[in-house]
Amino acid sequence: MLKFGGLFGKVRCAVIGMVHVGALPGTPRSSNSVNELVSKACKEAETYLKHDIDGILVENMHDVPYVQSRHFSPETVAVMTRICLEIKRIVPGDLPCGVQVLATGNKEALAIAQACSFHFIRAEGFVFGHVADEGFTDANAGVTLRYRKNIHADNLLVFADIKKKHSSHAITSDVSLTETAKAAEFFLADGLILTGTATGCPANAGELQQVRKCSSLPVLVGSGVTVDNLTDYMTADGVIVGSHFKKGGKWDGELDEERVRMFMEKKKSLQRGQL
């Protein structure tokens, strides 16, 4: 199986840019045609490519309020597949691309990624149950990885959120973050994602170091990374950036090319040891 290093090479702290797909058909805020959704998503991908992004993650962020995967309608997977296919047409073949399907759509994400020759998925609820804002999320590592095996998709990496944002972890309050990380590694995750409490909220830099010490897996920071605090996270294997790249730093704003440019320049400067 291809591992993180084989996917991102020797890139230090890979920057993965979020493509927040517009509200899909059938969701409360849906107002655009499929072609319009595709066009906007591809435009965002092109902007990232222009500024040498290290990877792209496609997500149906605008489908609020989210439902769990058992309530998905067929158009969710169909339209996400169409969008991912069109993005794949315009990105270099070796640029890592991933997909997440909210909420808890890990099997759906694997199917989309396999069909579109993507490289990874972001998985919710991988180990230990918790209560998210869309309801109870049960642990699903066994189901997710069995499905990956069944569709012959061992080449797809699974990056698992631990102590996920927008969630209550009271029912596992006796299980520490590091214990959760160890459990995800034991249950064969390919990478760990550390977040703050909500979209756009910074992860704890001290916790990043704790997780890195307790696990041999790649660790990515999945929320709240900005041009101002990037220095705090350069020891991570990767950062997933969405909100900061939008106008005003708000996740539902338009992609701001100047923010992308400044962030990538800051990252290159840090890599050169100039800052």
* Domain span holding position 193: 4-237
Q: What is the pLDDT of residues 136-187, one digit of tens each?
A: 889 999 999 999 999 999 999 999 999 876 787 888 889 999 999 999 999 9
Q: Is residue 103 part of a domain?
A: yes
Q: Is residue 66 part of a domain?
A: yes
Q: Is residue 191 part of a domain?
A: yes
Q: Is residue 253 part of a domain?
A: no
The domain total for the chain is 1
Name the token pair of 2.
């291809």
pLDDT for 181 = 97
Give the confidence band of 1 by pLDDT, cuts at 50, 70, 90.
Answer: low
Q: Is residue 257 part of a domain?
A: no
Name the token pair of 64.
């609020």
Q: Is residue 242 part of a domain?
A: no
Q: Is residue 121 part of a domain?
A: yes
Q: Which residue shows structure tokens 């029912």?
A: 171
pLDDT for 114 = 98
Amino acid at 167: S
Q: Which of 72-81, 96-105, 264-273 is least confident?
A: 264-273
Distance, CA of 90 to CA of 105 (rounded, Å): 25
Give the confidence band of 134 by pLDDT, cuts at 50, 70, 90.
Answer: confident
**Contact (Cβ atoms closer than 8 angstroms) between residue 137 and residue 124:** yes
pLDDT for 255 = 98
The CATH number covering residue 218 comes to 3.20.20.70
The residue among 117, 140, 171 whose CA lies nearest residue 70 is 140
Q: What is the pLDDT of residues 8-67, one digit of tens each?
A: 998 899 999 999 999 999 999 999 999 999 999 999 999 999 999 999 999 999 999 999
Residue 45 vs residues 1, 7, 95, 188, 262: alpha-carbon distances, Å = 26, 18, 11, 30, 17
pLDDT for 170 = 84
Q: Is residue 105 part of a domain?
A: yes
Quick one: how far is CA 134 from the chain centroid?
18
Share of the chain above pLDDT 70, in %: 98
Q: Which residues contact 150 (CB under 8 A, 6 or more apart)?
A: none
Distance, CA of 107 to CA of 263 (rounded, Å): 32
